[in-house]
Structure 1
Amino acid sequence: MKSYIIIIALLLGAMPLSAQKNKKVDLSKRLNIGSAVPDLPIMDILNFSSGTIDLDDYKDKVLILDFWDTYCSTCIELMPHVNEVQKIVRDKAQIITVTWQSREVIEKFFKGNKYLKEHQAYLPTIIADTLLKSYFPYQSVPQTVFIYQGKVKAITYFDYIKPEYIEKLIADERLDIPVKDDFNTKGVIPDQQNSNLKGKVLITGYQDGLEFKGGLPIERDSVTGMFVTSMINTGILDAFTRLHAMISPKYFLWIPGRMEWYVKDQNDYQYKPNSIGPRIWDTKNAICYQRFSQDTVSTKEMAKLVMQDLVSFLGVSVTIEKKEKEVVVIRKTTKSRTGIEKPESDRQVEGMENLAFLLDFSKMYPPTLDESGFTEIIDVPDYSSLEKLNQQLLYYGLEAVLAKRVIDVMVIRELKK
């Protein structure tokens, strides 16, 4: 059966986490940092020296539980890294992955996954778990738990499965790293509430323990009675991008070809994939913003106010400007189609606007514009090169060419002080 590629599917496919939101979870057995871990029963395990494991055998070393499931693309992508960490730390620590899924599902997954086969990253995996999840409940994976000397030392993010954090835990018997709490409801930066408050703007660095919310939520604070507009633990570029989307929505992706940087270090503003880890980057570079006001306005008008605050306090501007850039243009062609066979593919795309989005999503080319107006369904071509793309587009009377066009560009500037 053919499958149609649509924008929503592409965006959802890019989501890294497996989420189980809106499910009522029993927190009565939950363990916290510092809690003693109860005696655990023998559990079924795969990819281990035996078919069962007694976690109590690892009280004298660092025990890392890495919760995952087969729906979590990030979890799977990280398995070779976790496997390498285990090789480096050797008997100082034991990393065990944990899943609620059944033996049958996980055995089939390990047998059929080409990525893990290529990397030989078959990690010890506790299967059909319910007990450990009751002690360390979550609503999204991956989730990582550090246990040492029989006590919970960290409930955190996958970024911290690294040799240096294992060594630090052994040396200091503690870890000062962010806590992952999927059930947290705190929404105001601590120690800042004031019953006589008339209005204020707070901008801080990363704040551990605050509830993350997307967009630009405007909520009434139960303590002050004021309206609180917030962005919590957000990268600076992401904050500006969100605000621009509320002020003037764009229907394309902000890929590198649509951005110009005039800053000392781009890494201060945007996380670089596959570098130190997104949560570690957040603790160093993310900001928390909150505006307390007596009255509220529309989201669009509030976004303008927030942007003014960020420019003023952070000394950086992010503007949308018209610039001439080299782009890929999809257009109609009069070239002969004689002898050109119809492309065949298991996937299809409807219209060239969606193909332009797909090419932008791949980040393999300059920004792509559709000037053809072609709206029919076509088989998704091999777009690993423009040459291959054009070989297949020609059947539909189309071509993709490099050309100069004036397009919207996001310009990031550090302001002179």
Structure 2
Amino acid sequence: MKLKIIIIIIYLFAGNHFLVIGQQKTVKPLKIGDHVPDFLFQNLKNTAKSTQQASDLYRSGLLIINFWATWCVPCVREMPSLDELQKKYGDKLHIISITNQSDMVLTTFLGNHKELAYLTFSARDTLLKKYFPHTIVPHNIWIDKNGIVQAITDDEQLNEKNILSFINGNTSLATKHDDLEFDWRKPLKVADTEFVHRSIITPQKGSIGNGGVLLPDSNANSTRFLAWNRSKTDLFWAAYMKKPMQKRDWNFVEIHTKDSSSFFYPAYTNELNWTKRYGMTMFNEWSERNLLCYELSFSKKINISQFYLLMANELSLYFNVKARVEMKPTDCWIITQLPSKFKGSDFKETNREPLQIVGTSMVVKNQTLKEIAEQLSEMYGNEPPFINLTGIKERISLKKDFADLSEGLKVSMLKDYFNRIGLDINLNKYNYPFLILADQ
């Protein structure tokens, strides 16, 4: 599968490394043919043993280190197949799925995918990626019974045929090559540094995954927007909604055009078995025809509202599309204030930190309820959006310890806590912004 997703670290999660490698102070990236250090995998999930020595695994069978992320569609899609392979081959095969995401994110994922009974997982990786640097997941390291890296592949190579062939001594697999020199912090093309303003739209570029970034300053000014290998719907959403498009947001887009196929990723159409029915070849052909790279940049800072307005006008002109935002009734989690007085902050805090889960605690530092609602919407990616209708303007700091978050923080648990501090959460209809795209 050639759908590729670039890794962009947005938050850094504190915690111990999930593996230990003696007293080694420097990390030298490993390549095919190198012997791996004897990693001690720690904090393992979904397995009887919380620690495993790498040598104990590869000596009894093929060891595959599978780098992945919960937001990576190909990664999640291949998990059931990997679980079946692990079940079938037992001690001849050891797959350890590694993510740099937090324990809480991994625990929530496993709680929602209890069918994955045989795969071993670990979170909070900051070290192993240094030994096997990459920019795109899935990223798979194949280690033979002698502890030698024999292959570095994408998910297309990770199948039963290749695993059986590898176990029988054939280690020849197509090598995955990530462009490690690609840096989203730099201009997409560095040819002329004397420009005052420029806008660039190019076809899809291979080997860089996909992503997008806007870099505003504290005064809501910006000099640059860059998106690479995104659909035009992604671009219109960013221009009109002033935020990146998440998977849930496709529910809030209406397309009124003669041909809407170029606006939607096949995965988001009504054909649930698109790839199964048509195959990845057609998906790749769709990507080559419809994904774009877009950069809008200035040599001076521009007010962000004016920046987005220019971007919206430019996209409409180029794609010959009329775009607007229309408010429509839709299900939302509405945060309101109870008749009992809101108790305010749980503690005093001068620093500002967004909502996060630390262990079994929810912690918010010096945030408005509007900001908290936005952060909850991001955290609950599969739930309806959260809307703040409390009228409370003050910044607050909250901390709540929950007895058990093994299946994640459920909305019902959040509601119980909010009720105790004078707030409520209910699922009601609310006029929510929809992006409407139509032919000119």
Give TM-score scaled by structure 1 length: 0.51
Q: 1:242 aligns with which of 222, 226, 238?
A: 238
Helix, strand or coil at the partner of 1:201 = strand
Counting aligned pairs with the same residue, the percent is 13
User: 1:310 & 1:84 partners in 2: Cα distance?
Assistant: 43
Are residue 410 (structure 1) and residue 435 (structure 2) matched?
Answer: yes
User: 1:48 & 1:256 partners in 2: Cα distance?
Assistant: 39
Q: 1:178 to 1:299 in 2, by over 3 A?
A: farther
Helix, strand or coil at the partner of 1:312 = helix
Q: Which amino acid aligns with 1:320?
A: V
Q: Which amino acid aligns with 1:84?
A: D
Per-residue CA distance 1:230-278 (angstroms, 9 max, x = gap) = 32233444333333355xx89x9985665434363487359659997xx
Q: 1:352 to 1:393 in 2, by over 3 A?
A: farther
How far 1:175 moved relative to its partner? 3.7
Is the CA contact 2:66–2:139 (under 8 Å) kept in the aligned structure 1?
Answer: yes
Is the CA contact 2:29–2:130 (under 8 Å) kept in the aligned structure 1?
Answer: yes
Q: Which amino acid aligns with 1:121?
A: Y
Equivalent position of 1:81 in the other structure: 80
Helix, strand or coil at the partner of 1:298 = strand
Equivalent position of 1:208 in the other structure: 207
User: 2:262 & 2:231 partners in 1: Cα distance?
Assistant: 11
Is the CA contact 1:207–1:288 (under 8 Å) kept in the aligned structure 2?
Answer: no
Paired residues for 1:126-205 under 5 Å:
135-137=131-133, 143-145=139-141, 154=152, 156=154, 160=156, 162-163=158-159, 166=162, 175=174, 179=178, 181=180, 184-185=182-183, 187=186, 193=191, 201-205=200-204
Is the CA contact 2:67–2:138 (under 8 Å) kept in the aligned structure 1?
Answer: yes
Equivalent position of 2:229 in the other structure: 233
Is the CA contact 1:19–1:141 (under 8 Å) kept in the aligned structure 2?
Answer: no
Q: 1:119 aligns with which of 112, 116, 121?
A: 116
Q: Which amino acid aligns with 1:298?
A: I
Q: Which amino acid aligns with 1:408?
A: P
User: 2:303 & 2:254 partners in 1: Cα distance?
Assistant: 27
How far 1:66 moved relative to its partner? 1.9
How far 1:307 moved relative to its partner? 3.2
Consecutive unaligned residues of structure 2, counting only runs of 5 or more, are 1-8, 15-24, 218-222, 276-282, 341-359, 403-408
Per-residue CA distance 1:204-240 (angstroms, 9 max, x = gap) = 114324896621589xxxxxxxx98632233444333
User: 2:162 & 2:87 partners in 1: Cα distance?
Assistant: 11
Helix, strand or coil at the partner of 2:118 = coil
Helix, strand or coil at the partner of 1:215 = strand
Consecutive unaligned residues of structure 1, counting only runs of 5 or more, are 1-14, 219-226, 336-344
| More displaced stretch, 394-403 vs 298-307 | 394-403
Aligned residues: 344
Q: 1:289 to 1:27 in 2, by over 3 A?
A: farther
Helix, strand or coil at the partner of 2:133 = coil
Q: 1:27 to 1:262 in 2, by over 3 A?
A: farther
Paired residues for 1:62-81 under 5 Å:
64-67=64-67, 81=80
Is the CA contact 1:255–1:360 (under 8 Å) kept in the aligned structure 2?
Answer: no
User: 2:202 & 2:93 partners in 1: Cα distance?
Assistant: 40
Q: 2:391 aligns with which of 364, 373, 383?
A: 373
User: 1:297 & 1:355 partners in 2: Cα distance?
Assistant: 28
Q: 2:309 aligns with which of 304, 308, 318?
A: 304
Q: Which amino acid aligns with 2:203?
A: T
How far 1:145 moved relative to its partner? 3.2
Helix, strand or coil at the partner of 1:37 = coil
Helix, strand or coil at the partner of 2:65 = strand
Helix, strand or coil at the partner of 1:230 = strand
Is the CA contact 1:232–1:288 (under 8 Å) kept in the aligned structure 2?
Answer: yes
Is the CA contact 1:179–1:209 (under 8 Å) kept in the aligned structure 2?
Answer: yes
Which of 1 and 2 has greater Rg?
Answer: 1
User: 1:297 & 1:351 partners in 2: Cα distance?
Assistant: 27
Q: 1:135 to 1:351 in 2, by over 3 A?
A: closer
Is the CA contact 1:203–1:289 (under 8 Å) kept in the aligned structure 2?
Answer: yes
Helix, strand or coil at the partner of 1:232 = strand
Q: 2:254 aligns with which of 251, 254, 260?
A: 260
Is the CA contact 1:390–1:400 (under 8 Å) kept in the aligned structure 2?
Answer: no
Q: 1:396 to 1:141 in 2, by over 3 A?
A: same
Is the CA contact 1:329–1:368 (under 8 Å) kept in the aligned structure 2?
Answer: yes
How far 1:37 moved relative to its partner? 1.0
User: 1:19 & 1:48 partners in 2: Cα distance?
Assistant: 25
Equivalent position of 1:290 in the other structure: 295
Helix, strand or coil at the partner of 1:202 = strand
Per-residue CA distance 1:156-191 (angstroms, 9 max, x = gap) = 5xx557538958x9999554866263x64485657x
How far 1:332 moved relative to its partner? 6.4
Q: Which amino acid aligns with 1:268?
A: F
Q: 1:372 to 1:255 in 2, by over 3 A?
A: same
Helix, strand or coil at the partner of 1:145 = strand
Is the CA contact 2:335–2:387 (under 8 Å) kept in the aligned structure 1?
Answer: yes
Q: 1:212 to 1:269 in 2, by over 3 A?
A: closer
Is the CA contact 1:17–1:142 (under 8 Å) kept in the aligned structure 2?
Answer: no
Q: Which amino acid aligns with 2:324?
A: T
User: 2:79 & 2:149 partners in 1: Cα distance?
Assistant: 27
Is the CA contact 2:248–2:382 (under 8 Å) kept in the aligned structure 1?
Answer: no
Q: 1:241 to 1:65 in 2, by over 3 A?
A: same
